[in-house]
């Protein structure tokens, strides 16, 4: 029995040039990357507030900083404000940008360390002056 619209030829291959264009198009728009990071941060905020767990607040900052840095990397060659650029440059000293799949726990720990140490704020203040 065959369902309507089912391809009778199994494993029909897409030409490599079309496949590459489709995959590349997924990385053209940084909005989904940033939206995903923002939604994860909102979930972490709600969890931190509900549970009272203070250890979740650095995770909120981590999610926002890492997601924003990746989304901004995807916007190249467009540039950011000087303060944002300084924070992204700091993050990139410790964490690679978008690329092949890899184990992210060391990168997450590095960004948590940057947030907890105040280095992220210091990088921004180094460009724009003291933040209030």
What is the pLDDT, as a whole number, of residue 40?
85
What is the pLDDT, as a whole number, of residue 18?
76
CB 26 within 8 A of CB 68: no
What is the pLDDT, as a whole number, of residue 8?
56
Q: What is the DSSP letter of 47?
A: H
Q: Provide the 3-class DSSP secondary structure of residue 80.
A: coil
What is the pLDDT, as a whole number, of residue 11?
55
What is the pLDDT, as a whole number, of residue 50?
92
Query: Comparing C-alpha atoms, which of 69, 99, 98 is closest to residue 86?
Result: 69
Q: Where do we find the tokens 């030409």?
A: 15
* 128 Cβ contact partners less than 8 Å away, ≥ 6 residues apart: 82, 83
Query: Which residues form the domain of 50?
Result: 30-128
81 domain residue, yes or no: yes
- In angstroms, the CA 37 to CA 40 distance is 5
16 domain residue, yes or no: no
What is the pLDDT, as a whole number, of residue 20?
72
Residues of the chain with pLDDT below 70 are: 1-12, 23-28, 76
Indicate yes or no: pTM above 0.75. Answer: no
57 domain residue, yes or no: yes
1 domain residue, yes or no: no
CB 68 within 8 A of CB 40: no
What is the pLDDT, as a whole number, of residue 34?
76
What is the pLDDT, as a whole number, of residue 99?
75
What is the pLDDT, as a whole number, of residue 51?
92
**Quick one: tokens of 115?**
């947030």
What is the pLDDT, as a whole number, of residue 125?
92
15 domain residue, yes or no: no
- In angstroms, the CA 112 to CA 7 distance is 48
82 domain residue, yes or no: yes
């Amino acid at each position: 029995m065959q369902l309507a619209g089912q391809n009778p030829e199994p494993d029909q291959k897409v030409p490599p040039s079309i496949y590459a264009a489709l995959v590349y198009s997924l990385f053209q728009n940084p909005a989904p990357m940033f939206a995903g990071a923002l939604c994860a941060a909102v979930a972490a905020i709600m969890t931190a507030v509900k549970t009272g767990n203070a250890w979740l607040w650095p995770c909120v900052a981590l999610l926002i900083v890492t997601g924003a840095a990746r989304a901004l990397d995807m916007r190249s060659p467009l540039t950011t404000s000087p303060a944002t650029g300084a924070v992204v440059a700091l993050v990139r000293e410790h964490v690679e940008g978008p690329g092949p799949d890899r184990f992210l726990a060391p990168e997450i720990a590095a960004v948590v360390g940057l947030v907890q140490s105040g280095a992220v704020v210091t990088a921004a203040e180094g460009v724009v002056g003291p933040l209030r």
